[in-house]
């Protein structure tokens, strides 16, 4: 319609009308571009807000993961120290107490990283959607460093854990797992991770079974040596978790949220 009208004005040599029609076209294109730009900006702002909120939620869970590892391995170390002191004759304890501490020294915790948002942003090249520079920097640092890997790997492949499992009867180990193992916890619940492995328990094993199992541990010098190695390895990894990568730890503290 507009093109037909412009053509007519050109044939009639009505240059004023041609100029007016051209101006209308230019203004229409300009307005259309502005509307498109505004829509794109609104869409980008929406995505930025959505991804930022998702990333913050993920980092809060990562902060919980960090605190979980700190609390859990503090418990593991407590029992490793205790079992080692008993086996080396520096402390007196019941057969049951020795078994419980020796068992808990074998335990390890594996956390599942919540990194879907970060991976999506990096794989699509849209990290710029996170406009908060501090948030973006914290995310890059936290997800780029395998901060939990050493503790998990050391526990999973611990020679002490293997030796302990090979030394004791299956029934004894099942009883320890059932009555003195890890508690069920809710992700994000900071209260539930306190003393999640360091709590009072009874194995429900008979005195004779306890005595035989404890005697097996006390007479196994290699097991004691491996427990000593396990203790030193945990000490080193926990120290790295707490005192190395201070910027990363500060990032975890920023996103820690104890209550909803």
Q: How confident is the model at residue 257 (pLDDT cuts 50, 70, 90)?
A: low
Residue 215 vs residue 133, higher pLDDT? 215
Residue 6 pLDDT greater than 90, yes or no: no
In the prediction, which pLDDT does 229 show? 96
Rounded CA-CA distance 204/136 in Å is 51
DSSP labels for 235-249? HHHHHHHHHSSHHHH
Q: How confident is the model at residue 20 (pLDDT cuts 50, 70, 90)?
A: low
Among residues 44, 56, 55, the alpha carbon closest in space to that of 129 is found at 44
In the prediction, which pLDDT does 201 show? 95
**Helix axes 170-180 and 95-104, enclosed angle (nearest 10):** 80
Q: Tell me what the mean pLDDT of segment 216-241 comes to.
A: 93
What percent of the chain shows pLDDT beyond 70?
78
What distances in angstroms separate CA 107 from CA 75, 79, 197, one per listed residue? Answer: 10, 10, 9
pLDDT tens for each residue of 171-181:
999 999 999 99
Rounded CA-CA distance 177/197 in Å is 11
pLDDT tens for each residue of 187-213:
878 888 888 899 999 999 999 999 999
131: Cβ contacts below 8 Å, ≥ 6 apart: 48, 52
Coil, strand, or helix at residue 195?
A: coil
Residue 16 pLDDT greater than 60, yes or no: no
């Amino acid at each position: 319609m507009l093109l037909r009208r412009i053509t007519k004005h050109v044939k009639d040599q009505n240059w004023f009308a041609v100029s007016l029609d051209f101006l209308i076209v230019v203004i229409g294109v300009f307005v259309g571009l502005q509307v498109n730009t505004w829509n794109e900006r609104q869409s980008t702002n929406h995505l930025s807000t959505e991804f930022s909120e998702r990333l913050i939620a993920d980092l809060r869970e990562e902060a919980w993961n960090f605190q979980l590892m700190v609390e859990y391995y503090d418990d593991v170390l407590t029992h490793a120290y205790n079992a080692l002191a008993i086996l080396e004759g520096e402390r007196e304890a019941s057969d049951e107490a020795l078994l419980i501490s020796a068992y808990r020294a074998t335990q390890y915790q594996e956390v599942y990283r919540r990194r879907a948002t970060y991976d999506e942003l990096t794989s699509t090249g849209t990290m710029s959607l996170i406009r908060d520079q501090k948030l973006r920097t914290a995310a890059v640092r936290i997800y780029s460093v395998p901060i939990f890997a050493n503790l998990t790997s050391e526990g999973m492949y611990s020679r002490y854990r293997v030796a302990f499992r090979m030394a004791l009867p299956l029934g004894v180990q099942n009883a320890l797992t059932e009555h003195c193992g890890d508690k069920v916890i809710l992700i994000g619940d900071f209260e539930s991770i306190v003393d999640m492995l360091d709590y009072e328990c009874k194995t429900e094993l008979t005195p004779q079974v306890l005595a035989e199992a404890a005697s097996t541990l006390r007479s196994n010098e290699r097991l004691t040596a491996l427990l000593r190695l396990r203790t030193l390895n945990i000490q080193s990894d926990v120290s790295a978790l707490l005192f190395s990568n201070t910027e990363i730890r500060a990032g975890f503290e920023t996103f820690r949220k104890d209550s909803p």
